[in-house]
Amino acid sequence: MPERVDVRKTYKLFINGEFVRSESGRSYRPDGGINVPRGSRKDLRDAVRAARTAFAGWSGRTAMNRGQILYRTAEMLDGRREQFIAELGGTEPARQEVDAAIETWVWYAGWTDKLSQVAGTVNPVAGPYFNFTIPEPSGVVGIVAPEAPPLLGLVRRLAPALCAGNTVLVVVSEPHPLPGLTLGEVLATSDFPAGTVNVVSGIRRELLPWLASHMDVNAVDVTGCTPEETRQVEELAAANVKRVVHGTSNGMTPDAITAVMEMKTVWHPIGV
């Protein structure tokens, strides 16, 4: 039997539920061998537009349903476990990283319908009113994925943002983009509505200023940024008072969810 042809994969951006080539038509080779799309500011703009459009639908879903979809992401990731382990080097730490990533999706899936009870409050007020504080999703969140660990770092930032009901665009690690781009394929089969998660790869310094200054982005997670980049994001984010989140990829905590939420307080008269 003749050996079959070598099928080389074209990595693509994941925007609005579709795998697309970069608008720039360009690519870069982080590790010398594989072409990775070099996303442009227009790809970023398209991703933000898709996320904004998807926001009402995703945040309007029941918490139960969001939890189901996050759980399905864990299922899909588990189904591709070997692929991710190979992509991360095939070592024992790689195995542990993939398992931790799967676990992260399950953990945050459980939080969707518990968060408002835990983070929300009924406040005592001096008057005939109920006074509630309820967490609501911030809106469109840009996540700059940590460089390491390439898969787990991203999942630890992404899962809580989606759990909160935000729509997200991820700028994946510049030197190690493949786990992030492959995660896009997992997300595509996990029942997220189109545009809820968007994955963009490219040169960080070409994308970051556009993300940070975009008026339709409500929060930027700068966990993967250098101090210099963080400073730049904070300056540009001031124009529309974006939330700038300094997180970590160690461990899981409900604080990671509320970090990309807004606490809204409502008054309601008693007896009406």
Q: Does 241 bind other proteins (CB under 8 A)?
A: no
**Which one of 90-98, 155-163, 172-180, 206-214 is the stretch in contact with other proteins (CB under 8 A)?**
206-214
48 vs 143 by CB, closer to other proteins: 48
Among 7, 64, 126, 215, binds other proteins (CB under 8 A): 215
Site for other proteins in 113-142 (CB under 8 A): none
Q: Least distance (Å) from other proteins to the CB of residue 55?
A: 12
By CB under 8 A, which span of 7-15, 162-170, 172-180, 210-218 interacts with other proteins? 210-218
CA atoms within 13 A on the CB side of 108: 30
Contact 199, 170 (CB under 8 A): yes
Tell me the residue length of the chain: 272
Of residues 137 and 150, the one with the C-beta less far from other proteins:
137
- What mask, x for binding other proteins by CB under 8 A, covers residues 7 to 46? --------------------------------------x-
Q: What phi and psi, each to the nearest 5 degrees, are found at residue 144?
A: -95, 105
Is residue 20 within 8 A of residue 10, CB to CB? The reply is no
Name which of 176 and 214 has its Cβ closer to other proteins. 214
Does residue 240 interact with other proteins by CB under 8 A? Answer: yes
Is residue 57 at the binding interface for other proteins, with CB under 8 A as the rule?
Answer: no
C-beta closer to other proteins: residue 64 or 215: 215
Residues sharing a CB contact under 8 Å with residue 130, sequence separation 6 or more, in sequence order: 122, 267, 268, 269, 270
117 phi and psi angles, rounded to 5 deg: -70, -40
Q: For residues 83 and 4, what is the distance between their CA atoms, to the nearest angstrom? A: 20
Angle between helix 204-213 and 41-60 (nearest 10): 50
Shortest Å, Cβ 40 to other proteins: 13
Instruction: Choose among 263, 265, 272: nearest CA to 124.
Output: 265
**Minimum separation from the CB atom of position 249 to other proteins (A):** 28
Among the listed residues 13, 36, 47, 48, the single contact to other proteins using CB under 8 A: 48
Angle between helices 92-111 and 152-163 (to 10 degrees): 10
Does residue 213 belong to the site contacting other proteins (CB under 8 A)?
Answer: yes
Which residues make Cβ contacts (< 8 Å) with residue 75, sequence separation at least 6? 190
The one segment of 18-26, 104-112, 167-175, 209-217 that binds other proteins by CB under 8 A: 209-217
Peptide bond into 254 cis (omega under 30): no
For 175, the token pair is 């030197």
Stretch that binds other proteins, among 30-38, 177-185, 214-222, 264-272 (CB under 8 A): 214-222
Smallest distance, Å, CB 6 to other proteins? 36
C-alpha to C-alpha distance for 110 and 257, rounded to whole angstroms: 12
Contacts with other proteins, residue ranges (CB under 8 A): 45, 48, 52, 210, 213-216, 236, 239-240
